[in-house]
Each structure stands twice: as C-alpha cells, then as structure tokens.
Amino acid sequence: MKIEKTPFGKLADGTPVDLFTLWNAELRVKIMNYGGTVVSLMAPDKEGKLKDVVLGFDSLSDYLSDAYRQESPFFGAIIGRFGNRIAGGKFSLNGNDYTLATNDGPNHLHGGEKGFDKVLWQAEEVYEEEGLGLRLSYVSEDGEEGYPGRLRVEVTYMLTNKNELQITYRAETDKATIVNLTHHSYFNLAGDAKKDILDHELMLPADTFIPVNASMIPTGELQPVGGTPFDFRTPEAIAPKMKADNKQLTYAKGFDHCFVLNGKPKELKLAASVFEPDSRRLLEVYTSEPGVQFYTGNNLTGALTGKEGRKYLPHSGLCLETQHFPDAPNQPAFPSAELWPGEQYQSRTIFKFSVK
C-alpha cells in the first residue's frame, strides 16, 4: 500500500498538475488534481493480469486539447455542481431565478462551461486503517457558473483493502443552492483496446427508470422497466437490449438514462453490477444516491485517441453515474437536490472490483 506523487504537466497558465498513484495489493489507481480525474485504474483479470479498465489519456495535454473540449466526454472526472441536465439552464430557488450556461444543446450539463471537471483541486494524501486515499477540496465562489452560494466541496477517493474505490462527497453552502455531485469514469472491464462494452453483462436493481424527451430532459414520469429494454433486474448482456426498437434508445442513441434504485435513499445499497465474461472481471457499484445514470458512451465519435492508441468510439466504455435525478430543480416530484446553509451535503459511492 502506497501513494506516489509525480508531476503531470501544466495548465495553460503554467499551474502545475500532480498525478497521484494509489497502490494496494491488487489495484493501482491514478488520479490527478485537475478535475479530480481518475486517469487510470489497473485491475486484475481471472489470471491476475492487470489491465486498465477506464478510458483516458497518458498525458495532461490530451485532457486540455480543443478536440477534447469539443467532444466533452468528462473522462473520469468529478462532476459538479450539478451532474446531468437542467432544462433550459434555468431554475428557481428561494424566490430567485437562476440562469446557467446551456452547454448541451438547449440545456445545462454537468456544471457548465467550467465545471468541477475543469478546476484544480487541492489534494491531501490520506492514510487510514481501511486503506489509503486522496482528499480533494475546492471552494466554488458564489455565482460561479451561475450557481448561487459559496460552496465548499470535499471529495475523498479511498482505495480500500477490500479492493474498492470509495468516493465520499461533502459540501456546505452559505446560500440556498443546488448540488448533485458524481463521478464520470468510463469503464471497460475487458481492458482490451479492441473490445467495446456491448458484451458486458449488466445488472441494475431498479424497478423504474426516468424516460426523457428528444432533448434528454425527463418527462417527469417514472416508468416501470418490466417489458422494456430497460429491465436489467437480472444480469443481461447489453448488446441485445440496445437493438430493441424503442423511442428512448433512439433519443439517446443507446442507453443514457437515470435508473431509480430500489431500496432506501441515503442508505448504501447496490446500484449496479457489471461482469465481463472473457476476463471475468466484476465491478459492483454501491451508493447512497437515489439514482444511477447508465450511459453507454453513445456520444464518443472516434475523434479522440486514448491510452494504448485506442480510438474512443461509441460504446468504448460505459458510465455508472450515481446521482440525484436529472433536472431535479425543475421537477417537484423528484428527490430534492437543494442544499441550504447549515446543512451538509453527503454522498457516498463505492466501486468494488473482483473476479468471478
């Protein structure tokens, strides 16, 4: 078990960025303080062979390039202040109307033009009995990206002795605001440059999901998954489900939907499990959040070439973004994403790796 800190290049204004490598007996995770981004995650297969199971790049410049900005995949980053979409970039809170950047067609996505994925976090190494980690802090000033309130945010990545990457989020504000933090790794458990994620077997313990309109904004309804391609309550390969004739899959060009997790909100519960049959790698996701956005990387275009010369195409990776529901600030029936002064935002997600 150890942490190694190395320079990872410089931002346009010359500010240095650090890369932290966290090791335990089986896993190796690399996280940079720019965007709190998981750059690499090496996990063993059935023969103990380590392979990188997340999409990303070997150098900082690739995360800063114009091509990356244009594609905006948010590889491995911390997403905030509000993960997912807000309709028209508008919401009202405490008698005030707020306007945010519309950076995804007519809507606001993942915190705006310069969200938490594009800021430099202060990093502190953490050594505890359960494992080792990195505590990242950032203060988002009142009005940043149009959001109200000075928000103090702390995100801790822990690599535990149980082969988990545990992410704990905390935030406090001095004015009523909205918060929905998540993590945006694209997993590919094959760890093989040539394979997509369509043969991965997925299980999502969700009886309902959130249908969207053509601009990917929730209709407000929670639709039962039974009899639809959205029923992943028992493990199933992704590919056959993607072929179904379904308006929701057409809108999103695949899966890009929030699933409503069974079980109690705020309690840690299973959010997903993903199994890759060749390598036999298994990823289980647990969360205290009410939902998980399952995204099959539909908007990757092939314009970006990542680690090992791998071209990132649609379905090169999949995201399991634990979160409150999209557009929650405009959907009174959804669990509230408001944070008020004196309250503490707290959220936890665990990515657990094993072989089966």
- Give the Cα separation of 346 and 171 in Å (integer): 7
| Assigned token pair, 354 | 């094993």
Q: Which of 295, 325, 345, 351 binds ligand BGC (CB under 6 A)?
A: 295
- Give the Cα separation of 22 and 123 in Å (integer): 13
Would you name the residues annotated as active-site residues?
Answer: 184, 321
- Give the Cα separation of 190 and 185 in Å (integer): 15
Task: For Cα atoms 111, 112, 114, give the angle at the middle one, nearest 5 degrees.
Answer: 95
> Least distance from C-beta 297 to ligand BGC, angstroms?
8
Q: Which of residues 129-148 bind ligand BGC (CB under 6 A)?
A: none
| Assigned token pair, 90 | 């508008």
Q: Which residue is nearest to ligand BGC (CB)?
A: 299
Q: Which of 35, 44, 56, 73 binds ligand BGC (CB under 6 A)?
A: 73
Dump the DSSP string for 126-175: EEETTEEEEEEEEEE-TTGGG--S-EEEEEEEEEETTSEEEEEEEEEESS
- Which helix or strand (DSSP H or E) is residue 63 part of? helix 60-64
Q: Which of residues 74-103 bind ligand BGC (CB under 6 A)?
A: 74
Whose CA is closest to 134, among 108, 157, 162? 157
Question: What is the bridge-based pairing of β-strands 96-99 and 131-140?
Answer: unpaired
Of the two residues 256 and 327, which places its CB atom closer to ligand BGC in the complex? 256
Q: Residue 164's beta-bridge partner residues?
A: 352
Q: Which of 6, 15, 70, 72 binds ligand BGC (CB under 6 A)?
A: 72
Of the two residues 131 and 317, which places its CB atom closer to ligand BGC in the complex? 317
Whose CA is closest to 169, among 316, 350, 355? 350
Q: Which of 293, 296, 316, 322 binds ligand BGC (CB under 6 A)?
A: 293
Of the two residues 77 and 189, which places its CB atom closer to ligand BGC in the complex? 77
- Phi, psi torsion values for 32, nearest 5 degrees: -105, 155
| Assigned token pair, 311 | 């071209």
> Least distance from C-beta 84 to ligand BGC, angstroms?
6
Contact call for residue 301 and ligand BGC (CB under 6 A):
no
> Least distance from C-beta 271 to ligand BGC, angstroms?
15
Contact call for residue 299 and ligand BGC (CB under 6 A):
yes
> Least distance from C-beta 111 to ligand BGC, angstroms?
11
Number of residues that bind ligand BGC (CB under 6 A): 9
> Least distance from C-beta 78 to ligand BGC, angstroms?
13
- Which range touches ligand BGC (CB under 6 A), out of 66-74, 186-194, 202-210, 271-279? 66-74
Q: Which of residues 246-265 bind ligand BGC (CB under 6 A)?
A: 256
Kindly write out the interface string for residues 303-322 of this chain, putting x where it contacts ligand BGC by CB under 6 A and - elsewhere.
----------------x-x-
> Least distance from C-beta 96 to ligand BGC, angstroms?
27
| Assigned token pair, 215 | 């601009």
Q: Where does residue 214 rank: exposed (0-12), middle (13-18), buried (19+ CB within 10 A)?
A: exposed
- Which range touches ligand BGC (CB under 6 A), out of 7-15, 43-51, 68-76, 282-290? 68-76
Binding site for ligand BGC (CB under 6 A): 72-74, 256, 293, 295, 299, 319, 321
